Amino acid sequence: MGKRGKKYSAGSAGIDPTTLFKLEEALEKALQAKYAKFDETLDVAIRLGVDPRHADQMLRSSVVLPNGTGKVVRVLVFAKGEKEKEALDAGADYAGSDEYVAKIQAGWLEFERTVATPDMMGTVGKIGRILGPRNLMPNAKVGTVTFDVGRVVQEIKSGKLDFKVDKTGIVHVGVGKTSFGVAKLKENILAFMDRIVQLKPASAKGIYMRSISLSTTMGPGFKLDPMEIRTLIKAAG
């Protein structure tokens, strides 16, 4: 591992990597330890007791965070006619069909999220090799292939978070900006964790949430107590 900088070392001084923190305490410490001049993202990583090699244990879904993500997201909707108008009225940055396929084929990629009506997927498939590797392909599993484009655009703009488990069984997401403060970040984390619990595969054996940690973009990590997280989710529900 490379040598850590002085600011990182100062922020992580005295932190026992084996200690399990309560959520609020971990958030307070993470925010106190931040040192970057920009508004850092608060990241959460969960190691799950799933085997992504099995299709029924490949978690992929989304959740609308109550306080948003803090990011400005440009949305492109593949749709025609009334659905194109519906998307633009809902706040989509771009909406259309073949003209956007042609622009993307020519190298244009000035957007972060895509939505498509089901009848457009044949057309969108022409640029699958471009969108797929960049995680920009509309996907029914996360609700971005739908005729209800207005609702989905509004959800994305207000803080819809897509996530999936990686090949090592870890889900890693950004749940907001450090400027949100402890209370709002806590609400976002619990909304995300609640969704993770709901998605537990029936075939997953043993401990489901094996470890959870949070950190700011540049700061040290803090391990959370999975049992406390479960208790907080039940209390919030």
Question: Where would I find the H helices in the chain?
Answer: 6-12, 23-33, 81-89, 98-105, 121-124, 128-131, 149-158, 182-198, 226-236
The kind and range of the H/E element at 78 are: strand 75-78
Listed residues 157, 187, 208: the one ending a domain: 157
Q: Which two tokens stand for residue 7?
A: 């600011």
Q: Mean per-residue pLDDT for 109-121?
A: 97
In a domain, 21, yes or no: yes
Same domain, residue pair 167 and 101:
no
What's the CATH code of the domain at 223?
3.30.190.20
Q: Please state the domain count of the chain.
A: 2
Q: Is the pLDDT of residue 13 over 80?
A: no
* Model confidence pLDDT, tens digit, residues 71-93: 889 999 999 999 999 999 999 99
Domain range for 98 is: 75-157
* Model confidence pLDDT, tens digit, residues 155-212: 999 888 989 999 999 999 999 999 999 999 999 999 999 999 999 999 998 999 999 9
- Tell me the CA end-to-end span of the chain in Å, nearest whole number: 41
Please tell me the predicted confidence (pLDDT) of residue 15: 67
Same domain, residue pair 64 and 164:
yes
Q: Mean per-residue pLDDT for 8-24?
A: 72
Q: Mean per-residue pLDDT for 130-150?
A: 94
Pick from 126, 174, 119: nearest CA to 149: 119
The pTM of this model reads: 0.80
Instruction: List, as one string, the DSSP characters of 116-137.
Output: E-GGGHHHHGGGHHHHGGGT-S
The kind and range of the H/E element at 94 are: strand 94-96
* Model confidence pLDDT, tens digit, residues 40-58: 999 999 999 999 999 999 9
